[in-house]
Amino acid sequence: MSNGSPTAYLLWAILACLFLAFFVYHLWSYDRFQCLRWNAGRQPGAFKRIMTYSYFLSVPLLVVFSVGMTVVKFREGFILMGDSKIIPRPATLWSLPHQHFLLGLSFIFSIAWSSEQVTHFEELAFWLFLLDQGPDKGEWFSSWEYRLWYCSCVSSVLGMPLTALIARHDLDTIDAWIFLVGALASTVTNVFFLYVLFRFPGFLRHVKSEGADPDVVVRLSTFYELNLVRMLFRFAATVPLLILAVDGIRGSHPINEKQFWADFLLMISAIGQFISSSITLLIFFPRSVTKEAGYRHKAPSTGTASLLPPVSPKFHSPNSSRPSPAFYVPASPPTTPGYPQPTTPGHPHTARSSVAGMEAFATGGEPAPGYIPSDVEIGRRKEEQEQDFDHPEPHGLVRRETVHGDGTSRIGITLPKRSPTRRFPSTSTLHPYVTSYTSPIDLIDLPQDSIPPRSA
């Protein structure tokens, strides 16, 4: 067993419990635990369920392992060596119940680590698939990257517990072998993921040039920024354990025998493990603050915008320099000889002298004697007699004053007209997984006709 002190494993337990609390809070804020449902996701199926539940399984298992190791370490305490050195009690000197408990915790830790490796392998394979996407790229489930992923998953799910099973007879080195196999696989995965991060800026520029949705571009940019930080902590989680493992299976143990370096490497690994896991949670289940706040984007108006309130109606004075309206219809019933009173009681606007009088009024002339225009005809005549006066303003704005036929006016600000431009290209070669991207584990169910055809 590694020479880690109870304090080092206490840090593991504290960080594991804090991560579990953040895990619960984030999923509640994300969709009220709807992602835990059996048919959750846009493409429910075996792949989505394996990715979701394998990641969820690793979190409580890490809590059980770290808390259990802390309790056992504190109960067994320390021993005094012949050279007056005080070290944690070796596992071979533990009580029999604690040795059985240690063996169970080793299996739990190996299963938790293999479950986390499933998500790391999928992320690597998925981005290798999308970085080489193009017109000849088919569906994810028929690609060689997908086959690489499930072969790696089978190797990890079987290999990690099998390592603990083989090394179960030597409790002093069981954790060293688990650390060696797990850290070696995770470190190799991290190294290959650096290739993904190296190519990602060019991929992101290609996505922007192809006119992807702004939300997709933001998610991809956030994914890239988070992974730059996450990779640092993923190396911090695996490299210290790899060092302890190599030192533990050698004949001499210069690192594990020094309490400072054993505790230091274990603590660095704990910090890297749970910070990188927190970032993974943000990537797999990304929250949208705008959607949670209930914000909906409003489409911009294509017409003119009135930026000033309407001016109260008023009549122009006779000395005004603006032209007076050519025709004005008073609000009260006419009493002049040109507007005789109707002869039909109760129907003031039904008196018509002739069809010729109506046609004369409609064409802009004076109404014929005995003809009373209707409200609709008067309104149409007002609209025809409106006059617009444009006054240039700074910054390309135009102040437009509209004088109506009844003498009233209205002032508004007209935005300058812009030539129509196309923001994005009319055609896009992006894969549907890119244009609908939300998370590496939440894929869209592609119709057969939406899959890019393979080139001959």
Q: pLDDT digits over 378-399, tens only?
A: 666 665 555 555 555 554 455 6
pLDDT, mean of residues 81-96: 86
Residues 400 and 333 in one domain: no
Q: Tell the burial category of 452 from Cβ atoms under 10 Å away from its Cβ (0-12, 13-18, 19+).
A: middle
Q: Which of 440, 453, 441 is nearest to 200 (CA)?
A: 440
Nearest 5°: phi and psi at 389?
-125, 115
The enclosing domain of 180 has a CATH number of: 1.20.1070
pLDDT, mean of residues 136-161: 90
Q: Which of 396, 363, 392 is nearest to 377 (CA)?
A: 363
AA identity, residue 112: A
- 192 in helix, strand or coil? helix
pLDDT at 384: 56
CA distance 272 to 294: 35
Q: Tell the burial category of 8 from Cβ atoms under 10 Å away from its Cβ (0-12, 13-18, 19+).
A: buried
Q: Return the DSSP state at 369.
A: T
Segments forming the whole domain that contains residue 354: 327-384
Q: Residue 149 falls within a domain, yes or no?
A: yes
pLDDT at 184: 95
Structural tokens at position 65: 């392992």
Look-up: residue for tokens 């109960």?
75
Quote the crossing angle between the two packed helices 46-76 and 96-131, to the nearest 10°. 150
Q: Which residues contact 102 (CB under 8 A, 6 or more apart)?
A: 1, 72, 91, 94, 171, 174
Residues 257 and 396 in one domain: no
Residues 117 and 165 in one domain: yes
Residues 434 and 343 in one domain: no
Q: Tell the burial category of 381 from Cβ atoms under 10 Å away from its Cβ (0-12, 13-18, 19+).
A: middle
pLDDT at 256: 85
pLDDT above 70 covers what percent of the chain? Answer: 66
Residues 225 and 374 in one domain: no
Q: Is the pLDDT of residue 64 over 70?
A: yes
Q: Is the pLDDT of residue 331 over 70?
A: no
Written as one string, the DSSP assignment of 84-119 is S-EEEPPGGGS-HHHHHHHHHHHHHHHHHHHHHHHH
Residues 368 and 269 in one domain: no
CB 264 within 8 A of CB 272: no
pLDDT, mean of residues 25-54: 88
Q: Is the pLDDT of residue 15 over 60?
A: yes
Q: Residue 363 falls within a domain, yes or no?
A: yes
Q: Residue 296 falls within a domain, yes or no?
A: no
pLDDT, mean of residues 230-235: 96
CA distance 71 to 89: 13
Q: Residue 247 falls within a domain, yes or no?
A: yes
The dihedral built from the CA positions of residue 261, 266, 271 and 272, taken in this order, carries a sign that is: positive
Q: Is the pLDDT of residue 302 over 50?
A: no
Residue 80, beta-bridge partner list: 86
Which carries the bigger pLDDT value, residue 3 or residue 297? Answer: 3
Q: pLDDT digits over 424-449, tens only?
A: 344 567 888 888 888 888 888 776 55
Residues 349 and 271 in one domain: no
Checking phi first, is residue 45 left (phi over 0); if not, alpha (psi -120 to 50) or beta? left
Q: Residue 350 falls within a domain, yes or no?
A: yes
pLDDT, mean of residues 107-119: 95
Q: Residue 299 falls within a domain, yes or no?
A: no
Torsion of CA 319, 322, 326, 332, to 10 degrees: -60
pLDDT at 332: 46
CA distance 151 to 156: 9
CA distance 123 to 116: 11
CA distance 345 to 255: 114
| Mean pLDDT, rounded, of the chain | 78
Q: Is the pLDDT of residue 422 over 50?
A: no
pLDDT above 90 covers what percent of the chain? Answer: 44
Work out how many domains the chain is built from and give that number. Answer: 3
Written as one string, the DSSP assignment of 348-363 is TT-----HHHHHHHHT
Residues 356 and 436 in one domain: no
AA identity, residue 183: A
Q: Which of 28, 151, 9 is nearest to 71 (CA)?
A: 9
CA distance 113 to 161: 10
Which carries the bigger pLDDT value, residue 402 or residue 168? Answer: 168
Q: Residue 294 falls within a domain, yes or no?
A: no
pLDDT, mean of residues 307-321: 45
Q: pLDDT digits over 264-280, tens only?
A: 999 999 999 999 999 99
Residues 314 and 251 in one domain: no
pLDDT at 4: 86
pLDDT at 340: 47
Residues 98 and 128 in one domain: yes
Strands 78-80, 86-88: parallel, antiparallel or unpaired by DSSP?
A: antiparallel
Q: Residue 456 falls within a domain, yes or no?
A: no
pLDDT at 336: 46
pLDDT, mean of residues 53-65: 94
* Max mean pLDDT range (112-121, 242-251, 331-340, 342-351): 112-121
Residues 226 and 276 in one domain: yes
Residues 25 and 166 in one domain: yes
